Amino acid sequence: MIVERIKQGHAVSKGIGLGRAFVYKRYIPLKKISYIEDKDVESAFARYHEILQKAHQEIDDIRQSLEQKGDDKAKIFTAHLDILHDIALEEMIEQYIKQEHFSIAYAVHEAFDMFIEIIGQVEDELIRERVADLKDVKNRVLRIEEGLPETNLSRLSEPSIIIADDLYPSDTATLDRTFVEALITEIGGVTSHTAIIAKSYEIPAILGIEGVMKTIEHGTFVIADAIKGELIIHPDAKTTDEYTIKKKEYKAKQTLLKTYLPLKPITQDLIKVEVTLNIGSASDEELSFVPYVDGVGLFRSEFLYMENDHLPTEDEQYHVYAKALKAFGEKPVILRTLDIGGDKELSYLTLPKEDNPFLGCRAIRLCFEHPEILKTQLRAALRASVYGNLWLMFPMVGSIDDIEKIHHAVGEAKASLDHENIMYSQNVKVGVMIEIPSLILIADHVAKMVDFASIGTNDLCQYLTAVDRLNPLVSSYYQSYSPAMFRIIKMAIDAFNKEHKPISVCGELGGDPIAAPILLGLGMRKISMAKSSVARIKKIITSHQMTTFSQVADHILKLTKEKDVIDYVQSVLKLED
């Protein structure tokens, strides 16, 4: 075999992985009108019941696996078993096969589609949310009918390099990390959902390799070098041995780096920096970092929605938020309200089809269109606030009008709780996520109207540079280290510092070894990041003086190119890969 090297794509989560390619293709059924002859009816019906038994076994295996891990998602698959054996569905499919002579696949399509249409029109939101479950079970039955194997990422049997077009939250929610060596996708960049998950789980990842699913066959031995951003197909023995050693050396370096975790993030000239955590679900793994950070700088509440098959109820959200607040105690927990739209969708909530969803009805705009969703979340968060130090943050805010609407929504949620005599903390702070450049241009006014702000650098860069951050064709134009980025960020920092209001960064730049020192030098004193970045950023903070960071920041503001910024910071601070 000829060794092939692919050097395109973005190394979004560093590390090295070696294993067999697991080419993950999401099953999409094709509906065809087809019939069977009268003599084949009984055998078709018997085969349908064999298919049901296989589907039952698959679902139950997943359910038991999740239960053993103590994962609440096991309940989803219990519901799937109920749907699979629903009497009304079975009777309808039997009628289609025996009386109408529909083929098994056509009968399954027709029966499930009828139920999906009926339930989709029900007024009760909780019942409508069952549509996603029906579609999932339907697709499983049809895949088995076609004789196709299950490509479930929850049950890998050997060290694997996952190859996919993209990975959805439903894919990563059940990901078996025991055997995942690396993630490779055709779509996605440094700020995509897959990149965030890879960093959180500390899985090597290279994203945005166009055509990779056609290039690599399932089962091919592959090496993913997510340090250089290189994919090696059919490596020879020498290359494999070389990368096995590199992998061990990299892991040893990461283990050494983690000795910085317990250190207080104080510079050598004794300036304290708040290092906070980005979390998504208040999992035990995330909460294990409580001793090492100063709070939560970004609680991505949308993960609760994206990893579920229905809109989380008020009580479901309350328990998750309360768990996080109890764990962090007096340390602030910044909860971002639902941030759906753009690259994040919900299978059970119909969003408007837009030509450019990143500029459309997303985040707080979507919540304004669905006030009942926002009110449910605010009530849940406020109820949980009695257990800790809650800060509410609203995304995609673009104007003073938005801020006034936000205060009104929070006021309504509080009034509804008052009416029911339900307790909540009187010290909950209300802030905004600064992502839209227009908000920075009036940051002096914004700082007077909110308690705090956090800069979402992922979308800020996208809007500032006019680049779709998920489009690999224009990825070179997405320049997060551009002097323009740091100039506009400085405007926001100055405005909030002047009002003595807290301001932080919760986008990817907060945990970036090149950007973090610049942000601190610009006057930022609070940065938030994935847990995989905490040790490295603490090392940088404790190894330098704040005066050095200030000098670096002053200099890069005079530069004109992103490359010059990178080169200068690396030369002054001697940063390692």
Burial class for 575, CB neighbours closer than 10 Å (0-12, 13-18, 19+): middle
> 475 with 422: CB under 8 angstroms?
no
Q: Has 85 been annotated as catalytic?
A: no
Burial 44-59 (b: 16+ CB within 10 A, else e): bbeebeebbeebeebb
Question: Which listed residue (10, 80, 109, 506) is catalytic?
Answer: 506
SS3 state of residue 130: coil
| 128-135 contacts at long range (C-beta below 8 A, 24 or more positions apart) | 128/348, 129/309, 129/310, 129/311, 129/348, 130/79, 130/83, 130/310, 131/348, 132/309, 132/310, 132/347, 132/348, 133/76, 133/79, 133/80, 133/83, 133/309, 134/83, 135/347
Long-range contacts of 405-409 (CB under 8 A, 24+ apart): 405/368, 406/364, 406/430, 406/432, 407/449, 409/367, 409/371, 409/374, 409/375, 409/378
Sort strands 180-185 and 205-207 into parallel, antiparallel or unpaired.
parallel
CA pair distance 267, 492, nearest whole angstrom: 23
Q: Is 524 within 8 Å of 504 (Cβ atoms)?
A: yes
Residue tagged active-site, from 109, 193, 310, 544: 193
C-alpha 363/C-alpha 403 separation (Å) is 14
Catalytic annotation on 193?
yes
**Three-state secondary structure call for residue 191:** coil
Those residues whose C-beta lies under 8 Å from the C-beta of residue 112, and which sit 6 or more positions away, are: 89, 134, 135, 137, 138
Q: In a 3-state reduction of DSSP, which class is residue 434?
A: strand
**C-alpha of 127 from chain center:** 26
Contact status, residue 377 vs residue 337, Cβ threshold 8 Å: yes
Supply the residues annotated as catalytic. 193, 506
